[in-house]
């Protein structure tokens, strides 16, 4: 599991750091589901968590965090669909791992 290094987050604005903080909480839960992660914070873009199924590296997805108008945080798929509330780390990790499962039949 690769988590963003301090030099990545130290130059981020406070809002970007808030996104990273939420994603950083999800990364170890995904690791327990067997996924590898890489925290991404490219300049000028919203931070994301790259999640890869190491058993099938072609199965990968970028997960985002977002704060709603009511102040609640959610994890989001790259296609702008909610995964789970940020307070539900296990549920979010299970949903991501399920979608990235090599045995996933959709």
Separation in Å, CA 5 to CA 20, 26, 80: 11, 16, 27
Tokens of 88: 């539900």
Q: What does the pLDDT read at residue 16?
A: 82
> pLDDT, tens digit, for every residue of 9-19?
345 566 688 99
In a domain, 68, yes or no: yes
Tokens of 59: 């199965």
pTM score, two decimals? 0.82
What secondary structure does DSSP assign to the chain, as a single string? -B---HHHHTTS-HHHHHHHHHHHHHHHHHHHTT-EEEEE--TTS--EEEEE-TTSTT-EEEEEEEE-TTS-EEEEETTS-EEEETT-HHHHHHHHHHHT-TT---
In a domain, 104, yes or no: no
> pLDDT, tens digit, for every residue of 17-62?
899 999 999 999 999 999 999 999 988 888 999 999 999 999 999 9
In a domain, 1, yes or no: no
Q: In terms of Cα–Cα distance, which of 81, 73, 79 is closest to 24? A: 73
In a domain, 45, yes or no: yes
Question: Whole domain around residue 79: which residue ranges?
Answer: 6-99
Domain count, the chain: 1
In a domain, 105, yes or no: no
In a domain, 106, yes or no: no
Tokens of 51: 């999640």
Q: CA geometry: angle at 49 spanning 45 and 52, to 5°?
A: 130
């Amino acid at each position: 599991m690769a988590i963003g290094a301090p030099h990545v987050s130290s130059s981020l604005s406070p809002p970007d750091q808030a996104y990273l903080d939420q994603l950083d909480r999800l990364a170890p839960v995904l690791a327990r589901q067997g996924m590898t992660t890489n925290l991404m914070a490219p300049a000028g873009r919203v931070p994301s968590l790259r999640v890869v199924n190491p058993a099938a590296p072609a199965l990968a997805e970028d997960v985002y965090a977002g704060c709603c108008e009511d102040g609640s945080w959610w994890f989001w798929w790259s296609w702008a669909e909610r995964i789970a509330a940020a307070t539900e780390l296990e549920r979010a990790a299970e949903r991501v791992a399920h979608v990235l499962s090599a045995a996933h039949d959709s």
